[in-house]
Amino acid sequence: MWQYIKNLYHLAIAIWANVLFGFPGRKLTIIGVTGTDGKTTTVNLIYHILKEAGFSTSMISTTGAVIKGKKYPLGFHVTTPSSFDLQRYIVKSQDINKEKSFLVLEVTSHSIDQNRIFGIPFYITVLTNVTNEHLDYHKTFENYLRTKLKLLERSKIRIVNKDDDSYEEIKKLLDQHSGLTYAYSLDKNADFTFDKEAISTDLIGDFNKSNLMAAYSVCRALGITKEVIKNAIKNFELPEGRLEVVCDGKFSIVVDFAHTPNAFEQLLSSIEPNIKGKLIHVFGCAGERDKEKRPEMGKISAKYADIIVLTSEDPRSEDPNEIIKEIMQGIDKKKEVYKIPDRLDAIRMAIRIAKRGDLVLITGKGHEKSMNLGDGEVPWSDRKEILKILKTV
């Protein structure tokens, strides 16, 4: 009940913001990207392709806003900004010198439920996937799924992932007559598939190729030619904190934002076969968030990693040691595990034990520049701390 009242308040704010700024979204072609995983990479891919095609394009995603080439930080742990900030960015995205301007917007389930995106006329929306996440907020998977689908229902063209385990349920809830589908695998008989379109990419993992297909489908629906899209894909670089190689020497160190069971499964299964030595995985789970996923993430990490280093990842008001205990419930007792709540010490430990050919994978923070240890945000960057440690090794 309290959340419902808060959402009505957010709706009133969104209406006010739209009126104050003159419903600026009507002067843009707006693309919405939602899903549990892959949103940020898909947003960046769409943005990159449209820029390469010569269009005036802006984007707002977890890694920040890029408005007509200028970068704006969104603040700590922000993906979809508040209604007023969102409308300000939309105004800035307009380009009077171009016949058509695009805005690619990463949309979270929280922002949909809280009406922050009210008044934005989405032309195309794409759903990357839906897996168990944010159940601390939505309570049930069905509520979470239905919230995601609200975004698709308000757009002219909707695109969904036929590879997603939730596809059959999505099909029941969403009228697919006006929609398109994409898939990585050819046998899914989707409108767009990786093999059918004969796409070449250096991106690692089927999950990234799935993200690529999401972006490809959107751009084809916008009328961009196959040749332009394929050429743009060739020089695309993953956004900050997504499979980011910080060190590639005697051993390698990679930082990634993966923080859900599905992201763990997709990421670890993709990189593990290519490692010559051992996979050393450093991770934790956020406090005051889905507790149910903690043992599952431990189980998936143990399935692929040779050595696990459990640590803090925004514990907030929770005791990091208790979070680690809950992750341990999914890990085989025979697995080599180090429990080091201090994230800096944990990373230092992982680097210290790494040998030639090993890969140290540090997940959960990715691009983020802060960490919440219970008393608000403090400056933190996995990448910066890794580079400091390497100078002393």
Contact 310, 345 (CB under 8 A): no
Q: Estimate to the nearest angstrom the gap between the alpha carbon of 186 and the chain centroid.
A: 25
Count of all residues that appear for the chain in the document: 393
What would the two tokens of residue 289 be? 């968030």
Within 10 Å of residue 167's Cβ, how many Cβ atoms? Answer: 20
Taking alpha carbons only, the member of 30, 44, 10, 35 closest to residue 120 is 30
- pLDDT tens column, 46-60: 999 999 999 999 999
* Spatial separation of the C-alpha atoms in residues 201 and 117, rounded to whole Å: 33
Residue bearing the bigger pLDDT, 3 or 28: 28
H or E element at residue 107: none
Q: Mean pLDDT over all residues of the chain?
A: 94
* Spatial separation of the C-alpha atoms in residues 131 and 376, rounded to whole Å: 29
Q: Where are the alpha helices (DSSP H) in 140-260?
A: 141-153, 167-173, 206-221, 226-234
Q: Which of 33-37, 168-172, 300-304 comes out lowest in average pLDDT?
A: 168-172
Supply the pLDDT for residue 177.
Answer: 55
Question: By percentage, how much of the chain surpasses pLDDT 90?
Answer: 83
Q: How many CA atoms lie within 13 A of 247 on its CB side?
A: 25
Sheet of strand 336-339, all strands in order from the earlier edge strand to the far edge: 244-248, 252-256, 359-363, 279-283, 307-310, 336-339
Rounded (10°) angle between helices 39-52 and 206-221: 50
**What is the rounded average pLDDT of the residues 242-259?**
96
Residue 80 backbone zone (phi > 0: left; psi -120 to 50: alpha; other: beta)? beta
Listed ranges 88-97, 175-184, 193-202, 260-269; the one with the highest mean pLDDT = 260-269
DSSP 25: G
| String of DSSP letters for 278-318 | -EEEEE---TTS-STHHHHHHHHHHHH-SEEEE--S--TTS
What would the two tokens of residue 61 be? 């995603």
**What is the rounded average pLDDT of the residues 100-117?**
95
pLDDT band at 174 (very low <50, low <70, confident <90, very high): confident
Supply the pLDDT for residue 176.
Answer: 58
Contact 107, 132 (CB under 8 A): no
pLDDT band at 385 (very low <50, low <70, confident <90, very high): very high
- pLDDT tens column, 196-248: 888 889 898 889 999 999 999 999 999 999 999 999 999 999 999 999 999 99
- pLDDT tens column, 314-330: 999 999 999 999 999 99
Question: Is the per-residue pLDDT at 364 higher than 60?
Answer: yes
Q: How many CA atoms lie within 13 A of 253 on its CB side?
A: 21
Domains, the chain, in order of start with CATH, read 2-234 (3.40.1190.10), 244-392 (3.90.190.20)
